[in-house]
Copies of this chain bind each other. A is one copy, B any other.
Amino acid sequence: MKKIKIKVPATIANLVCGFDILGMAIHEPYDEMELKLLDSPEIIIRHEDHFGLPEEPSKNVAGVVLQNIIEHLKLTKGFEVTIRKHIKPGSGLGSSAASAAGAAFGANALLGNILSREEMVHFAMFGEELASGVRHADNIAPCIYGGITLVKSSSPIDIIPLSTPNLFVAAVHPQVEVKTSDARQILKKNILLKDAVEQWGNIAGLVTGILKNDIPLIGRSLNDRIIEPVRSILIPKFDEIKTRSLEAGALGGGISGSGPSIFMLAEKKETAEKIAQLMKSIYDEIKIESFVYVSKINPSGIEIVEEDHDDNQ
């Protein structure tokens, strides 16, 4: 294959109680990426968007992923990448993970599918490391596998695809800055054992609810006593949005990744749309610009839009 166009979806990490281990892919927003195979081991990155991200490969999330692939596989080929990013950097919706996972997925397709999904995750994690300083896979895994994924361990990589409950997601991205590194630093290094026990009861309940498609169990497991009380301080109106979303029929929800985006799950599309409008109106009231997204959980992750094979050239 010479060229591939892909849609790379936003992802929501943590899923409230599953800090650093759970994540899910959604349909909206998504990035568009086009990758071409080059005849020499060089990397060209072009951003056709307005976020001002660096295009120098060593400073670009997709670039470092491709550099690592070229080096580790001792390739004599290279990649030219065009990115039209719609997942806003710093939104907490897996923007850097999308660039990283898209680069690994696209390169793998161009190379004839020589990598396993675990290997794609392995290479994509170099992009997350560049973006946030941490080699985490909780956004990358659902982007590559689709649906809801469990990162049982990121070293060694042990990803367990769970399933895709038939639920809708409302997400709001308020235009305030929360850096992943700050959101990580404010967390306490020590937690109470009794809080941890409550948390793992919720995690076990959430995983069971997802696998058994037990929607009420999913709802009553979406509690986080450890991370949310600390991180939500960085997000204006978090408590009001959560309370009013639950009143409006949300199953549950919380911070998307390290924020500032907030997501809620709902059984019906109309409920999710109502919640999205509610979220937006709360930020409108305090003059914070916000973007809202409504979609189903995305069962398949990255999607191939167009492929140009050698024999079509």
Contacts and interface: CB of A to CB of B under 8 A. Distances in A.
Interface of A: 18-22, 150-153, 158, 160, 162, 187-194, 196-205, 207-208, 211-212, 217, 220-221, 226
Contacts of A189: 192-194
Given A18-B200, A199-B200, A207-B208, 20 more contacts: A19-B197, A21-B197, A21-B201, A22-B204, A150-B201, A151-B201, A152-B202, A152-B205, A152-B217, A152-B220, A152-B221, A160-B208, A191-B192, A196-B196, A196-B199, A200-B200, A203-B203, A204-B204, A207-B211, A211-B212
A204 B18 contact: yes
Contacts of A204: 18, 21-22, 150, 152, 160, 203-204, 207
A152 to B, nearest CB: 4
A188 B197 contact: no
A208 B211 CA distance: 8
Contacts of A221: 152
Contacts of A160: 204-205, 208, 217
Contacts of A152: 201-202, 204-205, 217, 220-221
A89 B152 CA distance: 36
27 contacts: A18-B204, A19-B200, A20-B197, A21-B197, A21-B200, A21-B201, A150-B201, A150-B204, A151-B201, A152-B202, A152-B204, A152-B205, A152-B221, A153-B201, A160-B204, A162-B208, A187-B193, A188-B193, A189-B194, A191-B193, A191-B196, A196-B196, A196-B200, A196-B226, A200-B200, A203-B204, A204-B204
A128 to B, nearest CB: 16
Contacts of A158: 205, 220
A201 to B, nearest CB: 5
A295 to B, nearest CB: 24
Contacts of A217: 152, 160
Contacts of A18: 200, 204
Nearest to A209: B160
A203 B211 CA distance: 14
Contacts of A21: 197, 200-201, 204
Contacts of A19: 197, 200
A211 to B, nearest CB: 5
A214 to B, nearest CB: 8
Which of A21, A217, A220: most chain B Cβ within 10 A?
A21
